[in-house]
A and B are shown apart, each in its own frame.
Chain A
Amino acid sequence: MSCLKTRDLLHGYVDGELDLVKSLEIEEHLKECHDCAGGYQAIRTMRSAVGDTAVRFEPPPNFEGRLRSALRRESEPNARALIIRWRWIVAAVSLIVALTVTWAVAALLTRQSAHDVLAQEIVSSHVRSLMANHLTDVVSSDRHTVKPWFDGKLDFSPPVKDLSQQGFSLSGGRLDYIGNRPVAALVYQRGQHAINLFVWPSSAAPAESEKASVRQGYNLIGWTNAGMTYCAVSDLNLAELQQFAQLLQ
């Protein structure tokens, strides 16, 4: 191999990048040629000088830490977006729950007040019937007189019981208007106390508050039975009124 060719390939030889045949040829040439061998030595010297660890630059000791946090920060916007998205979901769910609760409470309050209105109507009706001396339209202690009287006046036939044996004497009945509908009012007498028993068809169970309550000094007891809603109201004491209610149930 010529010196010229050797000088071209010498770097590839030093770097171990030549094929075996060329490497051997150069090896042979370096044994014979002093100049080329000197060049080879010069490259090796320079290589080790440049490759010395003191020549390269090392990153500052805290650089890796800073780089790590920069990388974490870079991936953070997505994490932040995720948190924001979660916050929105939580907020939306909270709002829905709050609205549902509000609606439920409002509905409950409205329902209670509807019952309140009904109870108030019943008491008012009771009081009015006593004041205007219009307790009864049909005066009879005989349930076979009272019950047929309602025929044709109502779209239902109220059950009428005779409780005179138990001390509640039937004194008659009348038509009344409660809760936006005509109802039957049966009037019983217990000593000096008049009892108004309102009856209308309804499947709805009376609210808890309706079962037994006191309004303006009057006791009210409500119940449902066989598709009818009953509400007894009187100035009679609660125990006796409850006895009356139980006899009817």
Chain B
Amino acid sequence: MSDQSKVIRFEEIALPHLRAAYNLARWLVHNEHDAEDIVQESYLRALKHFSGYYGGDARAWLLTIVRNTCYTWLQKNRLLRQAEPIEDKLDELGTDFLDPEVLLLQHLDSQTVRNALQELPVEFREVVVLREMEALSYKEIANVVDIPIGTVMSRLKRGRERLHKLLASYMGKEASVELSENA
């Protein structure tokens, strides 16, 4: 395969997943400029190893490379918080059960959701992004993040519960602001 036709073939396979790649990078590294750099680096890396790609889930393959590049970048910039040990046990007792009233009654604007999601630890954020935004299956998430499928489920559960808590607290703040304004 000539270099020219290799690039063309690679582009056909990899470029359709550019939106997903960018979105994941953007959510993991927090800023636009670094996300672009990381996606470009990931695509160049993918092109380099393209001869080792024998079909299969191109999206999961690319997202894995993007995620790894993001983690390398986070480590290099000392942005990876290691303080909080993550319990991935599924049978861990769910303490914060979701109260439907908090969210149902309020209007959730996209900026509030973004802020709350941004506050999630990266381990939870990545599974929520891959599941809710990219609609990856548990199996695909397990491949990208390199964890067992059971762990995917427990991280999603805990990620959603935390997100719910964060949103509820934002709503509560907004509600109290509105109340004090009205008073």
Contact = CB atoms under 8 A, between A and B. Distances in A.
B101 A38 contact: yes
B39 interface: yes
Contacts of B6: 75
Interface stretch (B16-24, B61-69, B80-88): B16-24
B103 A46 contact: yes
A57 B32 CA distance: 9
B22 A63 contact: yes
Interface in A18-60: 35, 38-39, 41-43, 45-47, 49-52, 54-60
Contact of B97 (A7, A47, A49): A7
A167 B44 CA distance: 97
B98 A4 contact: no
Given A12-B153, A51-B132, A58-B22, A70 B44 contact: yes
B53 to A, nearest CB: 15
Contacts of B135: 51
Given A39-B98, A45-B104, A57-B27, A70 B117 contact: no
A56 B133 contact: yes
Interface residues of B, number: 53
B137 A17 contact: yes
A11 B153 contact: yes
- Range of interface residues on chain A? 35 or more
Interface stretch (B7-15, B71-79, B173-181): B7-15
B133 A42 contact: no
Contacts of B32: 57, 60
B34 interface: no
B18 A67 contact: yes
A68 interface: yes
B60 interface: no
B153 A17 contact: yes
B58 interface: no
Given A46-B163, A58-B22, A71-B10, A11 B156 contact: yes
B90 to A, nearest CB: 6
Contacts of A74: 7, 44, 47-48
A68 B43 CA distance: 10
A78 B48 CA distance: 13
B42 to A, nearest CB: 10
Given A35-B97, A63-B36, A55 B43 contact: no
A192 to B, nearest CB: 84
Contacts of A11: 153, 156-157, 160
B131 A38 contact: no
Contact of A45 (B7, B93, B103, B157): B103
B100 A75 contact: no
Interface centre among A7, A41, A57, A64 (most CB of B within 10 A): A57
A77 B15 CA distance: 22
Nearest to B137: A17
Contact of A43 (B98, B110, B117): B98
Contact of A42 (B7, B10, B23, B99): B99
Given A50-B133, A64-B15, A38 B99 contact: yes
Contact of B100 (A15, A39, A55): A39
B15 A8 contact: no
A38 B98 contact: yes
B147 interface: no
Interface in B99-126: 99-104, 108, 110, 113-114, 117
B11 A71 contact: yes
Report, nearest first, the 8 A-B pairs whose CB atoms are least far apart: A54-B110, A42-B98, A38-B100, A57-B26, A59-B22, A50-B132, A42-B100, A75-B3
Interface of B: 3-4, 6-7, 10-11, 15, 18-19, 22-23, 26-27, 32, 35-36, 39-40, 43-44, 47-48, 90-91, 93-94, 97-104, 108, 110, 113-114, 117, 128, 131-133, 135, 137-138, 153, 156-157, 160, 163-164, 167
